[in-house]
Amino acid sequence: MAHSLNRRKFLQTSALAGTALLWSPPIKANNHDIANEIGKSKWDLDTPALCVDLDKLEQNLKKVHTRLAGTGVGVRPHIKTHKCPALASMQMEAGALGVCAAKLSESEIMLGNGISEVLMTGVNVTIPKIQRAMALRRKHPGFIQAVDNPQNAQDLQEAARATGIMADVVVDIDVIRRSGVMPGKPALALAQMVDKMPNLNFRGILAYDGGVQHVKGFQKRRERALNTFEPVVDTYEQMKKSGLNLEIFSGGGTGTYDIMSEVPGFTDVQVGSYLFMDCQYIEIGGANNETEFDDFAPSLTVMTTVVNTNHPGRLVTDSGAKALTLNRPTAWVLGEPDFVYNAGSDEYGTITFEKASKTYKVGDPLEVIVPHCDPVVNLYDKIYGIRNERVESILPILARGMSQ
């Protein structure tokens, strides 16, 4: 194995030797024993390793549809969470209307890997990017783009005309002063402008309230979500009165998935974290459990290894901020409720505790729930699909690092 690893690495990387000028796709040293990893116990994986429990994942995939059945609200999962075409396929098979992507490069990866319906929630604002987006739309009729200002609408129209296509567009409405056109008149005017443009096809609106998703306590979250959304709903009503096509009214997330059906005309929730869950979401509480949001099962974990036990009440692991990010609350160690995990150091995690279920020694594996799933997944190239504690599949995170 050692020999073939070195040989393969040499063959794969020799093109690079002596020059930094030409780009070649990253060569990963840890590809060498992938074929041997299927069937391996998750406790034997080299760490840090990102894992998803497939039973829990499949349960979550179904649960969001079961829970929303009969509400009139569909599901358009946001792939910014997992960046993985294989998981997007599973979401489509489970009944999603399509998926959302945050960035153009993510959209390219999804559409290029078998996902036919992609709504890009971010706007493309530079001409080269708009041209790339239109080329993507020419190839993939299921690609829908967002727009949030009049100049951008004109740029989109011009690029669509130059590409010789009709491009599907939704207007993004400002909810938390981050993206979107202001609700009310500006949004209505923009929608009407888009609707009249010869090469743009107005499909509806989106509005994402990122601020409310992690409000603790279901009723508190519900009230804030509905209050904050009032200007958007007013805008929707005005657009409807004006005769605009509003087949899409998209928004919401895992924190509000069971609240958005109260919004008139609302068509689909952009859930992402429901698939994995994480410490941040578990803490917010759900409709049926005020202290723990347990509608979805925490399926995503990182396997880590104890590397130092020199100091009492303290364990050092091989998973720091480069494996878990700096998000808070920090990682929870499964089976060790008293452990406090600090991932503030880049390369090392430090656990402090007063009580432990056993005496840990150097080399022992630990499994942790991650602080915030989206940016953690973005650190890894693959997710191990685990069933009954063994590796059943390996899911490449093909859109990892695609922040463009």
Site for a second copy in 12-51 (CB under 8 A): 13, 16-18, 20-31, 34, 38, 44, 46-49
How do beta strands 340-342 and 74-75 pair? unpaired
Using CB under 8 A as the binding criterion, the count of chain residues that bind a second copy stands at 109
Q: How many C-beta atoms surround the C-beta of residue 357 within 10 A? A: 12
Minimum Å gap between C-beta 281 and a second copy is: 14
Stretch (H or E) spanning 167: strand 167-172
For a second copy, the binding residue among 242, 291, 308, 388 (CB under 8 A) is 308
- Could you tell me if 96 and 142 are in contact, meaning their C-beta atoms sit under 8 angstroms apart? no
- Near a second copy in 144-203, by CB under 8 A: 148-149, 151-152, 174, 177-182
**Between 69 and 176, CB nearer to a second copy:** 176
Cα angle 159, 145, 77; round to 5: 160
- How far is 150 from 201, CA to CA, in rounded Å? 15
For a second copy, the binding residue among 41, 116, 311, 389 (CB under 8 A) is 311
Question: Using the rule CB under 8 A, is 394 a contact of a second copy?
Answer: yes
Interface map 227-256 toward a second copy (x if CB under 8 A): ------------------------------
For a second copy, the binding residue among 63, 71, 86, 356 (CB under 8 A) is 86
Q: How many C-beta atoms surround the C-beta of residue 309 within 10 A? A: 15
Minimum Å gap between C-beta 264 and a second copy is: 25
- Judged by CB under 8 A, which stretch of 234-242, 248-256, 291-299, 318-326 contacts a second copy? 318-326
Overall residue count recorded for the chain in this entry: 404
- Near a second copy in 92-121, by CB under 8 A: 102-103, 105, 108-109, 112-114
- Judged by CB under 8 A, which stretch of 223-231, 248-256, 276-284, 345-353 contacts a second copy? 345-353
- Could you tell me if 204 and 237 are in contact, meaning their C-beta atoms sit under 8 angstroms apart? no
- How far is 6 from 303, CA to CA, in rounded Å? 26
- How far is 81 from 239, CA to CA, in rounded Å? 31
Q: Which residues pair with 171 in a beta bridge?
A: 147, 205
